[in-house]
Structure 1
Amino acid sequence: MARDHQVKVQDHQVTADSLIFYQQQCPTKRSRTPRTAFLFFLLFLSIFYIFHSQNILPTSSLPHILSSTHITITTSSNTLNTTSQPTDLQHIVFGIAAAAGLWDKRKAYLKSWWRPHEMLGFVWLDDPVDTATDDHLLPPIRISSDTSNFPYSHPTGDRSAIRITRIVSETLRSKAFEDLNIRWLVMCDDDTVFVPDNLVRVLNKYDHRQFYYIGSVSESHLQNIYFSYNMAYGGGGFAISYPLAVTLERMQDQCVMKYPNLYGSDDRMHACMAELGVPLTREPGFHQFDIYGDPFGLLAAHPVTPLVSLHHLDLFEPVFPNMTSADAVNRLFEPTRFDSAAIAQQSICYVEGKWTVSVSWGFAVQVIRGVVTPREMELPARTFQNWYPSADYKGFSFNTRALFRQPCQKPFVYYFSTVQYDRDSERTVTDYQCKWKMESPEYIERVVVYKKPDPSLWNKGYLIKAPRRNCCRVLPSTEKGTMEVDVGLCVNGEFVEA
């Protein structure tokens, strides 16, 4: 047989839907007889397979060359957890990177979202710390092993990146969870907060038995250029399916040794994922938050996806004004007790064609003079600055808009104040108040938002819903100085109209 037609099949094992032959193109003359015979042979196999798949031919008629070849054709869902039991918090192990020098401050963030009797995981520190009376509200603490034998040569980074990237391996090697039904390992920093129920909602979309590496990229275009658009940024957190974590643990130390010149833990993780051939599956609800300034614009126009995490809480302004960052996070988490799926989800509606109303549920309401189209309102307003001070708005990795086009269109902002559940109407009632010392549209002092809790907003059972922004409707006011808004799923035929 001609050299460019030779096919080697070891042990006669073929595990693909088709055979693909690659050949080097050479200008030399070849005999056409082997080529013709080979094509007839492939045609025969194709016809035989069609007849056999329709049960037209008996199994006994299988030629010797096929009977000794095992063909496996498998089909499975890439984006749907098809196991009998949905993923829950008990199936997730967290690996939280922390530093002893910042522990006393950062643990306040952990307390805002950690559920001691429902969640599994460790905080990995570089040195021991003194325990406090309330530390039972936090994950157990472990001390990372010595990494001095690993080379690190990045000129501006910190070799703690090696310690942090090995949290996956060290968590598995602790064997603390090997007897449990673990499906996912989730990595994050100690200045990251999660909405745990939304994390579960996102992971339920995927089959944990396959290799998945799930997270998101930076808000800074330059960050993604310097590092990678294909890397899950560690501060925003990322999830690794358990089979992938087991495979990673076997080769991670060897992999890390190869990359002393990399900056951080997350790009080392990405390098190992590249060696394993596993790409990043992007979920935009993981937020690295490589920004400075006021995060209002990002939270007020959150993408139509569950809010999973927030990072860098020490570096940008508190999400609610006149509060500490930790207290502001606790305030943001209050509505999640009633409707975690809807937190920070935007709805847009209009009042008689003269005001634009944007509701970021559980966070803030904006009332703007004039009509601002939904296409504009769903873009984050630039209340924040780029990670790199020299970069302007073109340095973000997503589209943004100016805060307002004219002074008269400066939004009147009503921040979340209280939440309660009305059992009679089966709706949540959230209150948003404005403390600005200026006249608001029609002297509105507060906005009351009504919404039915909808835990199946993103998926119902094993069915993943197509994402769609909730609709809102401005209701007739029953109290002077108060605007009332109803938020919920859009009905058939409903759309935003000024």
Structure 2
Amino acid sequence: MSILYILYITNLLLTNNVDQHECLSTEEHLKPLLNTSLKLAEDPQDGQHDTVKPVIQLPQRSRRYETDLKHIVFGIAASSNLWESRKEYIKVWWRPKVTRGIVWVDKQVRTRRNEKLPEIRISGNTSKFKYTNKQGQRSALRISRVVSETLRLGLKDVRWFVMGDDDTVFLVDNVVRILSKYDHRQFYYVGSSSESHVQNIYFSYAMAYGGGGFAISYPLAKELEKIQDRCIQRYPALYGSDDRIQACMAELGVPLTKEAGFHQYDVYGNLLGLLAAHPVTPLVSIHHLDVVEPIFPGMNRVKGLQRLFESVNLDSASVMQQSICYDKDHFWSISVSWGFVVQIVRGVISPRELEMPTRTFLNWYRRADYTAYAFNTRPVSKHPCQKPFVFYISSSRYDPGRKQIIGIYTRSKSSNPYCRWRMESPNKINSIVVLKRPDSLRWQKSPRRDCCRVLPSSKSSKMYLWVGTCREGEISELQHHQ
């Protein structure tokens, strides 16, 4: 019995030592993750410091990087044949001595002194490269090398290269907002797909479309430049420049990081339906401006873009962001695409429907086929009483006293059909005043639509709306007609 008791005690002590050793090992293993440091929690809204709080040092994907516009270089692919007209699009968004970039053309183009344009360079010779696609053009080879040729210029303090076409308009502050989310020291290929489901099937859903623009981080651009010429030779049958870039990215093993604000706009017709229901993400680019109708009726394409950029200059973060509310007295549904358009529809249409683009456009193959889009759409209502009353922005200004933007939206000249409903018509309204405070930090918070409210008005011909951050518990609540 004594021997058995000694063996039992010895085994118990050994077991305790092993358990203790395992606990210490686990603690040592977790120590780097559980190591805390004291940081000041700062409110980005007012810069006031809160109490000191322990912060666990864990990997954070949501971290923002101090990327500024000076860290971004644009590579713009241009055609000498279209330069005289296309350069007007570049002038809309380019900021001389602020934005950095190069326009790459196939041959020398005429330049004028003091034109507000980037530096213009001629692309390198691509005659040594094979090109066998019977539907495309050899210029795809030249354009695919824009990022690499820009890199070879040796520009300093570059974090990102952004590729675009000469008929692409960028909102450069929103480019910064998007790219600030990503670590520029890593390999990133950022852009978006086409709006055309057929185009994405034919080319690739994994490809960033060049017209909509895409961004390549500096270290990835360096790796691309090393292999690109060899890579191009392996894909002579590809159609365009952007699928050649994607083919090389596949060889490098880098997938597309999708950002829905880059817009290829492989559509024809009126962009109203798309822009009035923009996804909840910053508007980064608009492409195919020669293909679609001017964004404002009665104005040419360039003048319309200049009008839009009046809103961009006041609050670029909020341009095209949709708000939905209801006029409970009249039972109207109201959709605001800030800085662009306000639409009023009789009756109650759910937010789920209003945030879906109406098919005011045709797909890339000029067919009214809603199954050809890579996103949900809804038909334009055929009911005469549910045709929207459309108000396009006509002017906007900032009121420093009230710290708010005052936008005037004027009724479109197109007439609405006769309606038999007894419900009051918005026909009496000639203009809508939209009040909004700028919110440059909105994309540093979780994505959410702004709320809007109908304000009192002493004139039946004028409606007042407020647009801004939702209050606690505020929603776009449906109110049905009794």
TM-score range, shorter chain: 0.7 to 0.9
Distance 1:131 1:419 in 2: 33
Paired letter, 1:303? P
Q: CA deviation at 1:436?
A: 2.6
- Within the candidate set 259, 272, 279, 1:303 is matched to 279
Residue number among 131, 142, 145 corresponding to 1:152 in the alignment = 131
* 8 Å CA contact 1:81, 1:208 repeated in 2: no
| 1:94 maps to 2:71 | no
1:468 to 437, 440, 448: 448
2:297 maps to: 321
Give the deviation of 1:113 after TM superposition: 0.2
1:215–1:233 Cα contact (<8 Å) kept: yes
1:162 aligns with 2:141: yes
Q: Could you report, residue by residue, the CA deviation over 1:283-316 in whole angstroms, capped at 9, with x for unpaired residues?
A: 0000000000000000000000000000000000
TM-score normalized with structure 1 length: 0.82
Equivalent position to 1:282, from 233, 258, 262: 258
Greater shift after overlay, 347-356 or 228-237?
Answer: 347-356
* C-alpha separation in 2, matches of 1:275 and 1:95: 22
- Look up the equivalent residue of 1:474 and give its one-letter code: V
Cα distance, 1:262–1:76 mapped onto 2, change above 3 Å = farther
Matched, 1:214 2:193: no
Deviations 1:119-170 (A, max 9, x none): 11100000001112342x1000010010000000011100110100001111
What is the CA deviation profile of residues 7-49 of structure 1, one whole-angstrom value per residue up to 9, with x for unaligned ones?
xxxxxxxxxxxxxxxxxxxxxxxxxxxxxxxxxxxxxx99996
State the AA in 2 paired with 1:140. Answer: E
On the 8 A contact 2:265/2:287 being kept in 1, the answer is yes
Shift of 1:53: 2.7
Work out the CA distance in 2 between the residues paired with 1:476 and 1:47: 67
Match of 1:259 in 2: 235
Larger mean CA deviation between 402-411 and 326-335 belongs to: 402-411
How big is the shift at 1:389?
2.4
Change in 2 beyond 3 A, CA 1:257/1:423: same
Q: Aligned equivalents of 2:58 and 2:120: distance in 1?
A: 42
Aligned residue for 2:454, secondary structure, equals strand
CA contact (8 A) 1:302 1:345 kept: yes
**Does 1:273 find its partner at 2:252?**
no
Q: Deviations over 1:195-252 (max 9, x none)?
A: 1111111111111111110000000000000000010000000000111111111111
Distance 2:174 2:432 in 1: 26
Residues in 1 aligned to 2:22 and 2:111: alpha-carbon distance in whole angstroms = 69
Contact 1:414 / 1:434 at 8 angstroms: preserved in 2?
yes
SS in 1 for 2:151: helix
2:200 maps to 1:224? yes
What SS does the corresponding residue of 1:109 show, helix, strand or coil?
helix
Counterpart residue number, 1:412: 389
Counterpart of 2:97 in structure 1: which amino acid? Answer: H
1:242 to 204, 215, 218: 218
1:396 alignment counterpart: 373
Q: Give the drift of 1:354.
A: 1.0
The answer as to whether partners of 2:268 and 2:366 remain within 8 angstroms in 1 is no
Change (3 A) 1:206 1:79: farther
**Which of 284, 287, 291 in structure 1 is aligned with 2:267?**
291
Residues 75 and 241 of structure 1, relative CA distance in 2, 3 Å threshold: farther
Question: d(CA) in 2 for partners of 1:100 and 1:46?
Answer: 71
CA–CA distance in 2 between the matches of 1:54 and 1:305? 37
State how far apart, in whole Å, the 1-side matches of 2:270 and 2:431 are. Answer: 22
Aligned Cα RMSD in Å?
1.8
SS in 1 for 2:433: strand
Structure 2 counterpart of 1:81 = 64
Q: State the match for 2:160 in structure 1.
A: 184
Take 2:176 and 2:414, find their aligned partners in 1: how far apart are those partners? 42
Preserved CA contact (<8 Å) 1:79 1:207:
no
Contact kept in structure 1, 2:75 and 2:150, CA below 8 Å:
yes
Question: Which residue in 1 is equivalent to 2:438?
Answer: 453
Residue of structure 1 in register with 2:90 after alignment = 110
User: Alpha carbons of 1:210 and 1:327: their partners in 2 closer, same or farther (altered >3 Å)?
Assistant: same
Structure 1 pair 46/207, CA: closer, same or farther in 2 (3 Å)? farther
Task: Provide the C-alpha distance between the structure 2 equivalents of 1:332 and 1:158, rounded to a whole number of angstroms.
Answer: 33
1:172 partner letter: L
Residue 335 of structure 1 aligns to a residue whose secondary structure is: helix
How far apart in 1 are the matches of 2:309 and 2:332?
29
User: Which residue pairs with 2:428 in the alignment?
Assistant: 443
Q: Which runs of 5+ in 1 are unaligned?
A: 1-44, 56-73, 460-464
Q: Partner residue of 1:70?
A: none
Structure 1 residue 435: Cα displacement: 3.7
Structure 2 vs 1, CA of residues 77 and 259 (structure 1 numbering), >3 Å: closer, same or farther? farther
Q: Which deviations, in whole Å up to 9, do the C-alpha atoms of 1:41-91 show, x marking residues without a partner?
A: xxxx99996365368xxxxxxxxxxxxxxxxxx975445334xxx111100
Q: 2:459 aligns with which of 458, 474, 479?
A: 479
Taking the aligned partners of 1:140 and 1:486, their CA distance within structure 2 comes to: 42
Structure 2 distance, partners of 1:471, 1:50, is 49
Cα pair distance change 1:54/1:349, threshold 3 Å: closer
2:346 alignment partner in structure 1: 369
Q: Could you tell me which residue of structure 2 aligns to residue 65 of structure 1? A: none
Aligned residues: 424
CA change 1:378–1:436 in 2 (3 A) is same
**% identical aligned pairs:** 56
SS at match of 1:121: strand
Determine which of 409, 421, 430 is the counterpart of 2:407.
430
Among 156, 172, 175, the residue aligned to 1:199: 175
Report the residue type matching 1:409 in the other structure.
Answer: Q
Residue 120 of structure 1 pairs with residue 100 of structure 2 = yes
The residue aligned with 1:14 is: none
Matched to 1:417, the amino acid is S
Change in 2 beyond 3 A, CA 1:114/1:46: farther
Distance 2:126 2:398 in 1: 51
Corresponding residue SS for 1:245: helix
Instruction: Report SS of the residue matched to 2:224.
Output: helix
What is the alpha-carbon distance in structure 1 between the residues aligned to residue 303 and residue 192 of structure 2?
Answer: 26
Q: Distance in 1 between matches of 2:27 and 2:447?
A: 43
8 Å Cα contact 2:140-2:241 kept in structure 1 = yes
User: Does 1:140 pair with 2:123?
Assistant: no
| 1:438 CA drift (Å) | 4.0
| SS of residue matched to 1:472 | strand
1:449–1:127 Cα change, 3 Å: same
Structure 2 counterpart SS, 1:458: helix
Gaps of 5+ in 2: 1-20, 32-56, 417-424
